[in-house]
Structure 1
Amino acid sequence: MKKWLLPLLALFAVIGIMQPVQTSAETAFYTKTAVTHKDGTTTQPYMTNEQMTVQLDWTYDEAVPAVFTLPDTFKVNENIEKELTTKEGKTIGTLTVNAATNAVTAVFEDAESGVSGTTAIPVSFNQEKVTKAGSYSVAFPTGETITLTVTDTAAGAIKVVALDADTKVKLAGSVFTVVNESGKVVASLTTNSAGEASVPNLGFGTYTVTQTAAPDGYAVPVDPWKVELNTVLVTKEILHKKATGLTGALNITAVEKSTTTPIVGAEFELKTESGLFSKKVVTDEKGKVSLTGLSYGTYILTQTKTDTDYVLPADSWTITIGRQTPIEQKIENTLVNAYGALTVTLTDSSSSTVLKGAEYSLYDEAKKLVSKVVTNDKGVASFTNLKAGSYTLEETDAPDGYTRSTDKTAVTIKSGETVEVKLENTKTAAASSSSTTTTAAGTLPQTGDESSMMYMFGGVLLAGGTLLLMRKGKRA
């Protein structure tokens, strides 16, 4: 063997021996990896669009930790920088996560050997890798290979169960409001005879459940509950305590202004003057919602959401609860477009040609003239900004060459709507071109016609001349 080959082999051997030691030292900082739902549980399955966390256990041994790269099964949605704290709660450095590379980097500032802790990194599935439901095996740098069952189901349900705190008897008539992370009320629940109520088809995430009403004799809890929806069904048991002291109730009715039309889905918030008590409720299909078990005192009621057709009121209402009989509060919302409109289209009755220049007058229920409009080049007369109500439409001037219609058209205007009316006109009949009267015997002259008299006189002379000639002929 050549002399130069032995040193080279020895060098390769040293590199081969050192490399595993170096890798071991770099990954020794991270000791264990786990994948959990957002609430920390590991119940299978996981959803394709679910927000999860990767839990990393670590122990510091004075060596500089290597960068921990998350498997490409997962995706970090944004860059993260957070404190690195021990299990005792002491901050010893920072931890950063690079969204582009899925890289986790720990930097220590003041740490002693042997300290340990756990850090949670929010992740979701990489849609390029997790393309459909199924089982996925994920290998981590810490040595674990975790099999995840993934389903396409993107929604779950929340069920609340109302129970007597002492007897555990199920209670009917408890009312709850469910609010999502964006602050939107997604459901209003009332427990049935079995003490249960549920809302299905909710996207995974964090929800706030607030009790707004309780059965007679029970108090309404002040504090809401946070519910992490991360599986097909999450059940929340609500314990009801007997009411102590005097309580009252508030009934809210939301309607369109000046009507009895209910507003569905109007959201209200009731607070104490101190702000320590706060409840959000949403109106049902009748535009109604109730809060019970309210301690005597003064509250501030504010409408926080309304239907898109209405203007959200800027006012707040002071509510005083001082009796057991429910307080009735009616809230009116004004339409975004509180007026209606009317368009009249006029055409020729025989040719359907649009007619310009017809004047139409619109009268209200008191027969008072509201407006006059003339049809344009397109044969259209438009009446705008009309209050809701009943009107009468009349044609008060016809286009040239047409007969004015004497018909009156009843029109009902609704707020935010445009009523379209199509009308027709007929041409005026042509005047007679002859002033004579024709009979079966011919045409007779009318009295006072000078030309006719001359013709008659000429005829008499002609007849006389003829008679004279006839007499002379006989004599000859």
Structure 2
Amino acid sequence: MKKWLMLLTALFVVIGIMQPAQAAAETAFYTKSAVAHTDGTTTPVYALNEPMTLQIDWVYSGEEPALYKVPTPFYISKDGEEPLKTSSGETVGTLKMNAADNTAIAVLEEDIQSGAKGTAKVPVVFKEDKLTKIGAYGVAFPTGEQLSFTITEEAEGAIKMVALDAKSKEKLAGASFTIVNEGGKVVASLKTNAAGEASVPNLPFGTYTVTQTAAPDGYAVPLEPWKLDLNTVLVTKEIMHEKSTGLTGALNITAVEKGAAVPIAGAEFELKTENGLYSKKVVTDAKGKASLTGLSYGTYELTQTKTDSDYVLPTESWTVTIGRQTPVEQKVENSLVNAYGALKVTLTDASSEAELKGAEFSLYDEEKELVSKVVTDDNGVASFTSLKAGSYKLEETDAPDGYTRSTGQTDVTIKSGETVDVEMENTKIAEASSTTTSVKTKAAGTGTLPQTGDESGALYLFAGVLLAAGAWLLMRKGKSA
């Protein structure tokens, strides 16, 4: 065998030997993978909206850790860094998580000892837009495990709030709470009953913010809201209440649309004392209401910090003085981002559905005053813009040429920020009947005869006379010959 061929063969053998060793080195740091529920169990049935933890066992043997790629359909739920700890609790590095790349990597300290081991925990979720189905899956992990599992529909649970006296642990009635989901929507407004409990069922798994808006009589409202992770059938939160010292009052906030009585849910307000030592945030419920109780007498500043996306957040703040036990009422109005609505009228032919140009439409307000006149364009459309919310009447005041005008008026209700579509039809004017009666007749075996009153009949008659005269002359000439 030629030397170059022997060298090439040897090179291939070396590469073949190195490949498995190289692959093993990439995962040598990570030894085992498992996906756990919040309670730590690894039953292979997961809910679509369930938060989970990817548990990655690791052992340091002198080699730098490789990048750990989380397999689909599990996705890291958030970027961040967590201390990398051994099973004995010693911090030996940092676990860095990249949600965009769906990867994690361990960055080790220089003094880590060979043989150190532990378990890294990575928060993961399912992404609905990435899933192809609800059902059975098989997943291969970088550490060699083959996991078979099932994804079920979204899971639901309940949140229960329990109000207690901080010293006696007596259950307290009359504590009010607002629960907001991750999207900022108020999903429940609760008030503890005689047993000191309040609960809301059928909430999808996820993270919720609970704000206490009112305390039982004689107690102070806790200052900070709470984050609750709903990841099981029932999550219970006990709230300890301290008794108020001195005279206290309350504040009731109502958030509505400016110029209307439409309540704004999910509006957030912050109340501060003049010295800034007391600060409390509350969120309005579905009725646009929020309350704060147990407020010591004094002067406060109220600021709105969040509102619904349809509204403009006010820039001003309000001074609130608590000097009596009767609650102070504070009404706050929010202006709409788009305070006007619009009307689009489309006119078509009743038979052909062709768009009709040139029709005039008039719009009248509730006082029967003319608001505007608009003529349909080439697309048969008449657009009324910048209309205040309210009731209107629409009337076709001039029809296109050759069409009958529709009669009567159409009631239209305009809402702020919305466009109302109205479709209308016109019918063509019937053509005037001819004053000359036309009768079509047809003899058997002959073509179609001229119609009575048809000018072409004289031409046919004249042509016939010429033909007859020509035939007579030919016959006469023949006889003479």
TM-score of Structure 1 vs Structure 2, range by shorter chain:
0.5 to 0.7
Matches within 5 A, 1:149-168: 154-168=155-169
Deviations 1:409-433 (A, max 9, x none): 37454223426374768959989x9
CA deviation digits over 1:10-56, x for unaligned, max 9? xxxxxxxxxxxxx9xx99x9999997655xx5368673454444667
Task: Kindly tell me the number of residue pairs found equivalent between the two proteins.
Answer: 394
Equivalence for 2:235: 234
Q: How does 1:439-458 map to 2 (within 5 A)?
A: none
In structure 2, the CA distance between the partners of 1:119 and 1:276, relative to structure 1 (3 Å rule), is: farther
- The CA deviation at 1:221 is 0.9
**Structure 2 residue 168 is matched with structure 1 residue 170:** no
Residue in structure 2 matched with residue 64 of structure 1 by the alignment: 62
Greater CA drift, 96-105 or 174-183: 96-105
Distance 2:185 2:405 in 1: 57
1:311 aligns to 2:311 (yes or no): yes
In 2: Cα distance, 1:95 partner to 1:410 partner: 67
- Residue 47 of structure 1 aligns to which amino acid in structure 2? Y
Aligned to 1:322: 322
Identity of aligned residues (%): 53
Alignment of 1:137-156 (within 5 A): 154-156=155-157
Distance 1:112 1:304, change over 3 A: same
CA–CA separation in structure 1 for the residues paired with 2:241 and 2:376 = 69
| Alignment partner, residue 46 of structure 2 | 47
- Aligned residue number for residue 223 of structure 1: 224
Matched, 1:260 2:258: no
Partner of 1:414: 414
C-alpha distance in 2 between matches for 1:350 and 1:112: 87
- Structure 1 contact 249–321 (Cα < 8 Å) conserved: no
- What's the TM-score once normalised by structure 2's chain length? 0.60
Indicate the larger mover: 333-342 or 229-238. Answer: 333-342
Equivalent residues of 2:184, 2:266 under 8 A apart:
no
- Does the CA contact (< 8 Å) of 2:178 and 2:285 recur in 1? no
Map 1:57-456; keep pairs closer than 5 Å.
Answer: 64=62, 77=76, 83-84=83-84, 91-94=91-94, 107-111=108-112, 119-123=120-124, 154-180=155-181, 185-263=186-264, 265-272=265-272, 274=276, 277-284=279-286, 286-296=287-297, 297-306=299-308, 310-323=310-323, 324-342=325-343, 357-365=358-366, 368-376=369-377, 381-391=382-392, 409=409, 411-415=411-415, 416-418=418-420, 420=422, 422=424
Closer/same/farther in 2, CA of residues 269 and 366 from structure 1, 3 Å limit = closer
Does the 8 Å contact 1:252/1:328 carry over to 2? yes
Which amino acid is 1:330 matched to? Answer: K
Contact 1:269-1:302 at 8 Å conserved across structures? yes
Tell me the SS of whatever aligns to 2:171. coil
Residue 408 (structure 1) shift? 6.2
Distance 1:73 1:331, change over 3 A: closer
Cα deviation per residue 1:452-476 (whole Å; 9 max; x = unaligned)?
xxxxxxxxxxxxxxxxxxxxxxxxx
Looking at structure 1, the residues matched to 116 and 295 of structure 2 have their Cα atoms a distance apart, in angstroms, of 50
Q: What SS class does the counterpart of residue 311 from structure 1 fall into?
A: coil
Once the 2 structures are TM-superposed, how far is the Cα of residue 190 of structure 1 from its aligned partner? 2.1
With over 3 angstroms needed to count, the CA separation of the structure-2 counterparts of 1:347 and 1:90, relative to structure 1, is closer
CA drift of 1:253 comes to 1.9
- The residue type paired with residue 225 of structure 2 is P
What is the CA distance between 1:243 and its match in structure 2? 1.9
For the residue of structure 2 that corresponds to 1:173, the secondary structure is coil
Q: Relative to 1, partners in 2 of residues 1:230 and 1:361: Cα closer, same or farther, differing over 3 Å?
A: closer
Give the residue type in structure 2 aligned to 1:299. E
Tell me the amino acid that sits aligned with residue 409 of structure 2.
T
Task: Give the letter for the 2:108 counterpart.
Answer: V
Q: What whole-Å deviation, never above 9, does each CA across 1:254-282 have from its counterpart, x for those lacking one?
A: 2232122333x232131426386232313
Offset at 1:202? Answer: 3.5
SS at match of 2:245: coil
Question: Cα 1:171–1:44, aligned 2, differ >3 Å: closer, same or farther?
Answer: farther
Between structure 1 and structure 2, the one with the greater Rg is 1
- The separation in 1 between residues aligned to 2:370 and 2:162, in whole angstroms, is 62
Superposed CA deviations along residues 330-377 of structure 1, whole A, max 9, x for unmatched, are: 222334443344455668899998765454444445554432333445
- Partner of 2:409: helix, strand, or coil? strand
**Structure 1 CA distance for aligned equivalents of residues 350 and 58 of structure 2:** 89
2: CA distance between counterparts of 1:382 and 1:36?
A: 58
Are the equivalent residues in 2 in contact too, given 1:248–1:321 (CA < 8 A)? no
Q: Do 2:282 and 2:290's aligned partners in 1 also have CA atoms closer than 8 Å?
A: no
Q: Which amino acid aligns with 2:175?
A: S
| Structure 1 letter corresponding to 2:422 | E
Counterpart Cα distance in 2 of 1:194 and 1:86: 45
User: Cα deviations across residues 307-340 of structure 1 (Å, max 9, x unaligned)?
Assistant: x5x2232424224242232222222233444334
Instruction: Decide whether aligned partners of structure 1 residues 250 and 51 sit closer, same or farther in structure 2, where only a CA change above 3 A counts.
Output: same
Structure 1 unaligned segments of length 5 or more: list them. 1-22, 434-476
Once the two structures are TM-superposed, the CA of residue 96 in structure 1 deviates from its matched residue by 6.2
Distance 1:312 1:376, change over 3 A: closer
Taking only aligned residues, the RMSD between alpha carbons, in angstroms, comes to 5.5
**Which structure 2 residue ranges, 5 or more long, are not aligned?**
1-23, 436-481
Q: Residues 81, 319 of structure 1: CA spacing in aligned structure 2 closer, same or farther, 3 A cutoff? A: closer
After superposition, the Cα gap between the structure-2 partners of 1:173 and 1:354, relative to the gap in structure 1 and judged at 3 Å, is same
Instruction: Give the Cα–Cα distance (whole angstroms) in 1 for the partners of residues 222 and 196 of structure 2.
Output: 17
Q: 1:44 to 1:292 in 2, by over 3 A?
A: farther
User: 1:217-268, CA deviations, whole angstroms, 9 ceiling, x for partnerless residues?
Assistant: 22111133343333211111222232222332222222232122333x2321
* 2:345–2:383 Cα contact (<8 Å) kept: yes
